[in-house]
Structure 1
Amino acid sequence: MMQRPHISATDTGPGTTDDLVADAHAAGFTRVSSRSIRDWTEFGLLAQPAFRKSSQHGSDHRVYPPEQRELFLRLLWVRKRLPQGWRYRRVVLARTIVGLWLLGLLDLPTEQVRRALRSTLGMQSTTAENRRIASALVDGLAHPSASTAQIRKARLVVAQCLGKGCWDRARVLSVLVEVSFSWSAHADRATGSTAGGDTPNLGQVLDDLAGYIDSRIEVMTRLREEAVTPAQLLEARRRFNSDPRQVARRLDWIMEAMVHHTAGLPGSPDNAAAGSSLTLLNAFIHELIAILGLG
């Protein structure tokens, strides 16, 4: 039977890749290999190991600090609890890394956080999440008289555009005008603009959303090119934590992690907690976009 990991940073030392593999095998994760460790490091789930100098003439193998050695086992346990495929699991683990750092629950290197951010931004656009974004947008604009078929079609079109990574403005605008047409009986179907002050300006809504998506893509590009500095990440975290509006979100995330705790780590695979971690991430990205001058 697989044993829950008991390793603690207080009773173990730094470890090489082979040590981490041995730890995993001892805990029952027998499929872990040295390639797994390299992949996790690349994706930001582990920090870069440091050279351990063994003599004045050379260095020993690279080693991970005790805290990372413990983190690795606990994240393995979290991953085991996730029922979805490898892509979703990696996203959840990367969000967990960012959340732990963002809330100050673990002291993590900014280079690790940068790679974890790159991983989660580059892979978080799953079909389920695109559908949730589409539903939120369509439901927020739909008129009560809109038919179920119109709403379903609008959700599908928006989700498809998000999944393709491109923004077909004309197509999206067309379906949104259909579901909100009773609100905007005098809307310009080419631009989505309305004359009334109480009706949704669809054109502006789409411009704002498209601008935000473009900004996220640019953040992803800069993270990939290592053009986001540690100072910028730390400033974004400072602004995030100084915003009173984030307090409730932070408490929600921590409480859900306590109720649905997994191996002692915040960031449960439970759907509600996963949703809260995404909310935290999006709020942090808003701050980072502003610091980078992208919005």
Structure 2
Amino acid sequence: MEQVEQCANQPTSERGRTGKERRLGNALEDSTAGAPPLDVLVVRTVGHDGLHSGDGSAAPALLVPGWDTVRGAVSTVISLTVEHGRMQLSGPESRCKFGAMNGDQTTVWAEGTSADLVADALPLGVKASTRMVTAWVEEGLLANPEPRKTSAHGSDPRVFPPLQRKLFTKLLEVRERSPLGRIPQRALIRLVLHMWLADDTVVLTPQARRAWRTHARAVGQVTTTKRSEGARAVVDQLAHPSASFKQRRAAQLVLEEGERTQQIDLDRLTSVLTELCSPWPAQPGSPRIERALPTPFGPLTVQQVIAMWKATQQTIRRLRYEEIDETALDRARAVHRQTWAEYQVHRSAALVVGAGAFASTIAVPATMEGQVIEQVNAFVGTLAGELGLIEAASHEVEAVRTRRAR
């Protein structure tokens, strides 16, 4: 859980400085906290390649509507140095009493009730309550406590396993150590999901499923200003240099509407983005020549961009209503781990030879928080692919393009 602490220890000015924010400065500060399908989004493709089914090569990275990382990349995964039942306490840099203890001391963790977890929070200076513990279970920050029976009459209070008791304390410690003074609950949710992606022992899939529901509910909860900034940044990256103001504005309005309503009008979106990316008339009797965006991994078409946005919106909706079972989540996680490792090789090679204008897009985020955000959002793209949503969306978008070309 070292990276969880690193995320809390980072200076305020560095928090959330992902690749997209390095390009847009402070305009999108904190926007990734509830990154909507149309915030300024970095797509890093791994495993599933949009319209080109069967092409498993690492595909382009680019700002598009569709997800903070539809199919993402990050080189560092949270390393869970968990000794079952034992934990190294934090160093003196912590502002809370618990974190100021000697790093050589250890706490031996045993199973505990909700009341025990509340007591564990006291050395941190946190006034927790059993109601808070129950809320954390419901949100997916903690697993369900396990039943315990020590007598023939009645039953004892349910207990949390040692690792869950430890997780509760570590999350509280991270929250208390934040230089921001307060870490939003959705940030803690992402840390829990990141642990689930990296390790099979601390956060189990039933808990992760609830955490994904909580995460999905927070997606898209941004202000009108940030939504507009996100749409404008997407337009800036997709637009051909000769695109007119009218074409840019039309594309931005359609993107904003799609994000606000969570409904994608494929015909309108295909029309405005095609005009934006390829702002020239079709020759009489000839199909329109459409421009693809050059990337270090090959060209990326408007159709791929739209398909990925639609697929990830559908995935988030399913996560929000818990329509994806644990077996599907486990299967997608296994695929994600493999494709993630493969992507690191492709990305490293691209950075070595020079990625040009896309170097900042495919670079590893400078902060631990940025890496957590990337890793969590990347899994959503893998899940979309495993559910067949990317392929289905690609066929829909291609059908629209074909119909328009007639």
Q: Name 1:195's counterpart in structure 2.
A: 288
Structure 2 Cα separation of the partners of residues 170 and 215 of structure 1: 21
Contact 1:14–1:66 (8 Å) recurs in 2: yes
Provide the residue aligned with 1:254 in structure 2. Answer: none
> Which of the residues 127, 134, 138 maps onto 1:42?
138
Q: Please, which runs of 5 or more residues in structure 2 have no aligned partner? A: 1-94, 294-300, 349-364, 391-406
State the Cα distance separating 1:110 from its structure 2 match: 1.1
Specify the SS of the correspondent of 1:61: strand
2:171 is the alignment partner of 1:75: yes
Q: How far apart in 2 are the matches of 1:71 and 1:176? A: 45
Counting matched residue pairs gives 265
Q: Displaced runs of 4+ in structure 1, greater than 6 A?
A: 6-9, 147-150, 248-251
Tell me the equivalent position of 2:63: none
Alignment root-mean-square deviation, CA: 3.9
TM-aligned CA distance change 1:195 to 1:124, over 3 Å: same
Contact 2:163 2:202 in 1 (8 A): no
Does 2:221 align with 1:126?
Answer: yes
Normalised by the size of structure 2, how large is the TM-score? 0.54
Q: Which residue of 2 aligns with 1:115?
A: 210
Q: Tell me how far apart the structure 2 counterparts of residues 249 and 114 of structure 1 sit (CA, whole Å).
A: 30
Task: Report the Cα distance in structure 2 between the residues aligned to 1:250 and 1:105, rounded to whole angstroms.
Answer: 26
In the alignment, structure 1 residue 145 sits paired with structure 2 residue 239: no
Q: Deviations over 1:129-176 (max 9, x none)?
A: 856763553233112234679757744652453133223556655654
Matched with 2:114 is 17
Give SS of 2:108's match: coil
Q: 1:62 to 1:148 in 2, by over 3 A?
A: farther
Give the percent of matched residue pairs that are identical in Structure 1 and Structure 2.
32
Counterparts of 1:82 and 1:167, CA distance in 2: 39
Is the aligned partner of 1:288 residue 2:383?
Answer: yes
Matched, 1:214 2:314: yes
Structure holding more helix per residue: 1
Q: Which moved more, 1:136-145 or 1:14-23?
A: 136-145
1:68 Cα offset (Å): 1.1
Letter in 2 for 1:97: V
Unaligned runs of 5+ in 1: 188-193, 252-269
Q: Deviations over 1:46-82 (max 9, x none)?
A: 0000112221333210111121111112112333427
Q: Which of residues 68, 72, 94 is equivalent to 2:189?
A: 94
1:150–1:179 CA contact under 8 A, matched in 2? yes
Q: Which residue of 2 aligns with 1:58?
A: 154
Name which structure has the greater RCO, CA cutoff 8 Å, separation 6+. Answer: 2
1:82, 1:46 → 2: CA distance? 24
Classify 1:26/1:215 alpha carbon distance in 2 versus 1 (closer, same or farther; 3 Å).
Answer: closer
